[in-house]
Chains A and B, each alone.
Chain A
Amino acid sequence: MKTVFKREFLSFFRTPIGYVFIGVFTALSGVIFYLYNIVELSGELLIFLSQLTLLLMLLSPLLTMRLLSEETRKQSEKLLLSSPVPLPSIILGKFLAAAAVMLIAIALTNVCTVIMMIYGTVFVGEWFVGYLGFTLQAMSFLAIDMFLTCFTVSQASAALLAFAGNLVLWMIDLIADAVPVTAVANILQFLSLYDRYEPFILGQLSFASISFFVAFIALFVIATMRLLDARRFSQGGAV
């Protein structure tokens, strides 16, 4: 897993993707910080973090779009599949590499936290809860995006599919409100990342939400492994 992680992580910075992602994420988080905190004269760290979710939705597909689709398109996956490294380690290595790049981008948003600390007060507990929730949410987007990219070999299609998935996931509570069948509405509400993230925005350390996010991430990482493994056994062409 370490070998795959190292290669994937370095490849983000040997192609423009890692720089573009971190650059655009940092620049846009600066714009959000300016609009919601500086212009409004607000020292609310959690409001700033809640607005950053939009960036996750828009930009996380950049990190996942080539993780698997590129391997399939260029057939470089055969190097990995014919090696003694188990498939779960390959997928986990790839996911963690994307997660590491995401963590760098998230860490850089702390420049805004430092500015808030200079001109106001940021409580350590508030910072911890806010960033924990935001990081878990980011990892959830990465997990589902990686899963969705298994369905295509084109990077552009992978990015588009992941973005659509993120959008649906984020709007799922709105969709739930519009569904007349209560049972279905409840299930959709349960899956809402927005609802799960809300306690963190309010400064509450919610173990239920943490458990949900961890389970959500694990579910989609394992689903990715199972899907790719199933392809080897496929009887009907590409899965």
Chain B
Amino acid sequence: MVEVLDVSKRYGRVQALSGVSLTAEKGRVLGLLGQNGAGKTTLLNIITGCLAPSSGSVKLGGKDPLLNPAQAKRALGYMPEHPPLYDEMTVEEYLRFASELKNVPRADIPGHVREIMRSTGLTEMRLRLLSHLSKGYRQRVGLAQALCGNPEVLVFDEPTVGLDPKQITEIRALIKTLSKEHTIIFSSHILPEVRQLCDSVAILHRGELKLFAALGSLGGGSATVHCRIQGEAKKLHPALQHLDDLQSMQALPSSEHGVIAVSLTFGKTAMPEKQVFTLCSAMGTPILRMTRHEDDLEQIFLQAIAE
């Protein structure tokens, strides 16, 4: 468990963080959202003990990383935005070094490193120099070093930044797998990524915590469906309004004759696509396009950071 208690950090005249308090429960994933310069990296550096807060404190498993660094940091794996790599080392040497730093018993290191390389897809690259790796593999090695010592808490600073779509998918899948056994805090400004991976979300703006909530509780879990249906508005609109758990219906402009466009917002108990499909099928009005928009994290984010 990670507890951040009323943490503030000041750099000269700049208040980088002010009074941030949040917790990351064991076995949960906390996403840290914010624009560039919002204070995400500063907060992560404070959580990991790389920086000291101006006031407030952090507890990793009940231990303060500044007062009890050896005990607190034993439970911690940190992957900064720029993976902390030594280019002259091979992947395997580097992970052995990281394991030694994390006090993994000497006899266990070869097996431990092998297992980490297997789980992060680095086995084939184990003898490559870090300087010869692609951006994606460097990011993976950065993630792999965070896993050394099997820490309970994993902290990732923008783990998918700069990766290609395939690499992003792979890293996200890996984080998803890790989330089963670890407490994970990661920062991002990619909203779908946060939605996909996190149990709770904290939104920072100019050093202030604007929102800290479980992701499921945001926006009441509503879903919006945008449809283009071939048929007459005077028949379709009344029929659509009788769908179960429909919260609102809004007609959208349509340029095609005989085609209507609507935005339907449902509560979280409804099955929007199934209902719309069944209705249109019964009425003989073909659905030309139907897209679902989950409760809009983008809107929530924009509202949270609005002045």
Question: Taking beta carbons and an 8 Å cutoff, which residues of A are in contact with B?
Answer: 3-4, 7, 11, 14-15, 74-86, 232-237
Closest-CB distance, B304 to chain A (whole angstroms): 28
Q: Does B298 contact A (CB under 8 A)?
A: no
| Most A C-beta atoms less than 10 A away, residue of B54, B66, B80, B85 | B80
Partner of A83 from B54, B66, B89, B102 at Cβ < 8 Å: B102
- Within B7-21, the residues touching A (CB, 8 Å) are 10-12
**B11 touching A84 by the CB < 8 A rule?**
no
**A75 touching B80 by the CB < 8 A rule?**
yes
Partner of A3 from B45, B51, B100 at Cβ < 8 Å: B100
CA distance A80 to B45 in the complex (A): 13
**A11 touching B86 by the CB < 8 A rule?**
yes
Q: Which residues of B contact A237 (CB under 8 A)?
A: 11-12
Proximity bits, B81-92, A CB within 8 Å = 1, else 0: 010111011000
Q: Does B97 contact A (CB under 8 A)?
A: yes
Interface residues on B, range: 20 to 34
Q: Which residues of A contact B89 (CB under 8 A)?
A: 7, 11, 14
A-B contact pairs, 21 of them (CB 8 A): A3-B100, A11-B88, A11-B89, A14-B89, A15-B88, A75-B82, A76-B84, A76-B85, A77-B50, A78-B48, A79-B84, A79-B98, A79-B145, A82-B49, A82-B73, A84-B70, A85-B101, A232-B50, A234-B11, A235-B10, A236-B11
Smallest Cβ-Cβ distance to B51: which chain A residue: A232
Question: Taking beta carbons and an 8 Å cutoff, which residues of B are in contact with A?
Answer: 10-12, 45, 48-52, 54, 66, 69-71, 73-74, 76, 78, 80, 82, 84-86, 88-89, 97-98, 100-103, 145
Q: Which residues of A contact B145 (CB under 8 A)?
A: 79
Q: Which residues of A contact B69 (CB under 8 A)?
A: 84, 86
Closest-CB distance, A13 to chain B (whole angstroms): 9
The 4 A-B residue pairs whose C-beta atoms are closest, nearest first, are: A79-B84, A14-B88, A76-B84, A83-B101
Closest-CB distance, A11 to chain B (whole angstroms): 6
**A82 touching B11 by the CB < 8 A rule?**
no
**B10 touching A81 by the CB < 8 A rule?**
no
CA distance A52 to B14 in the complex (A): 50
Q: Which residues of A contact B11 (CB under 8 A)?
A: 234-237
Q: Which residues of B contact A233 (CB under 8 A)?
A: 52
CA distance A86 to B84 in the complex (A): 18
Q: Which residues of B contact A4 (CB under 8 A)?
A: 101
CA distance A234 to B74 in the complex (A): 25
Q: Which residues of B contact A79 (CB under 8 A)?
A: 78, 84, 98, 101, 145
**A84 touching B10 by the CB < 8 A rule?**
no
Q: Which residues of B contact A232 (CB under 8 A)?
A: 49-52, 66
| Most B C-beta atoms less than 10 A away, residue of A82, A232, A234 | A82
Partner of B78 from A11, A76, A78 at Cβ < 8 Å: A78
Given A83-B102, A86-B70, answer yes or no on A74-B84 (Cβ-Cβ < 8 Å). yes
CA distance A66 to B248 in the complex (A): 63
